[in-house]
Amino acid sequence: MRRVPALLVPTFALPAGAVSAVAPGTSAAHWSYLAAFAVLVALAWVRLRTLRGPTRSGYAFIVAALSVWLAGDLLFDALTWIIGDTDTVTPSDLLWLAGYPLLAAGLVRLTQLRAPGRLREGMLDGLVMATVMAWLCWQFVILPAAEHERLSLQIVVSAFYPFGDVLLFAATAILVLTPGTKRGPTPYLVGALALTLIGDVGISTLPELFPGLSETLQTDRLDGVLLLANSLLVAAVVHRDADRIADRVSREQRLHPARVVFLGIALVVLPTTAGLHTLETTLSRVSLVVSVVLMTTLVLVRFVFVVREQERIRAALAHQAGHDQLTGLANRPTLHSLLEHTLSGPRGDGPRGDGFGPVLFYLDLNGFKEVNDRYGHAAGDAVLVEFARRLEAALRPGDVAARLGGDEFVVLAGDVTGDQDARLLAERLRGLAAEPVRRGTDLYPIGVSVGLAAAGGLAQPDADALLAAADAAMYAEKSARLSRT
């Protein structure tokens, strides 16, 4: 089947919706609405069959929401034809209400796919805004409509519609506030949700604002708005880049100013409304307190997450600045600072009163260049990582290992009793390269030359002098090995 351009879908729905606006309540408006809606749902199902990948589940929820809304319209017509006009609750209400959580679930699923691990921030911000929206609906839509009315099934079901809109509002906020692409089908989804909210709010408030006009005619005019909203949802499903909505944004997104504005408005609305509007009933005052407590809790949780994320980033940056990126060992600046700190302390006669002091072991891998040249840099990196792992496993408490660069490593040992103890530790370090490095089925034989220098053996020990002495001892051992071969 040839793919339908996304823009053509709302273009097709616009004339059918216009009939409802021009001639509300007529058979032409009613049947053009139903026919267009049925075509849209069928088109969405056809497109859904061709979608592949994880995004298909998100779009499946959206198509299911459209389907249950259409089923609700058809069921309502059937009940009206059988039992006549009714103002009571019917099974069609259950279908219409079921569409809200299905649509919200689809939007959250798509948002989760395009921002894995980053949905939490957008969800918290969306819930803060939805809390304000829910209280406004409760205070100015639900309570006035239920005032002086006895609790009934009709009152309860009628209250669920505004909260369905709140659910969609929260899903829209999450979609907009969560990082991810804002192109492709995303504008269609946002536009559809905005029109759905406008249509639903209009249906709920127009009879209260214009009580002199026929309620049926007023609400029927908004059927075209809802049809156009549904066509935008279908346009998102049939969009050629529908499966790319989950693509991650490569560059880090900054905090958008609109996010701050929306959250600021949400924080101001409740106290401002409470100050300007008299809350006459206990239920109104309790609902305000509950909403404020809930919103404050969400803001505090969001603040805690932000602080912890900043702490995690700072810790990661600090570790990155002081450690080698490949092996995770300390890097040259960290080693230099540690040497200066160790040597600036009270050396005296050393840790055991023998004047030997801390010892620096300078290690250089033998055969590393051959591995790099023959097997490639990936093999060389594997050798460095494995040797660093062996080195860390062989360290004693208090010892520090560092990678200076290339295949050069250093071990700073503080608790060394004398020359014999230092040489035994050097032999232990040489033994780390006795076994070849295994990578898959390949074996890379290596060796290591070790030079050592003790701070007590230097006239004026400092970090650079100790490094130079250990380096010279290592090269002397390497030259002696080469001359023997």
Task: In whole angstroms, give the CA distance from residue 238 to residue 155.
Answer: 38
Could you tell me the CA-to-CA distances from 107 to 7, 71, 230, 336 in Å, in that order?
A: 20, 21, 14, 53
> Is residue 165 annotated as part of the catalytic site, yes or no?
no
Task: In whole angstroms, give the CA distance from residue 363 to residue 87.
Answer: 87
Task: In whole angstroms, give the CA distance from residue 442 to residue 436.
Answer: 10
Farthest CA pair distance, the chain: 109
Could you tell me the CA-to-CA distances from 102 to 67, 145, 233, 351, 389 in Å, in that order?
A: 10, 26, 13, 71, 50
Neighbours of 36 (CB within 10 A): 23
Percent of the chain as helix, strand, coil, to the nearest 5 = 70, 5, 25
- What is the identity of the amino acid at 91? P
Q: Which of 125, 324, 364, 407 is catalytic?
A: 407
User: 148 Cβ partners below 8 Å, 6+ apart?
Assistant: none
Residue 452: in which H helix or E strand, if any?
A: strand 447-454
* HSE-CB of 364 using CA atoms within 13 angstroms: 15
Which residues form the catalytic set? 407
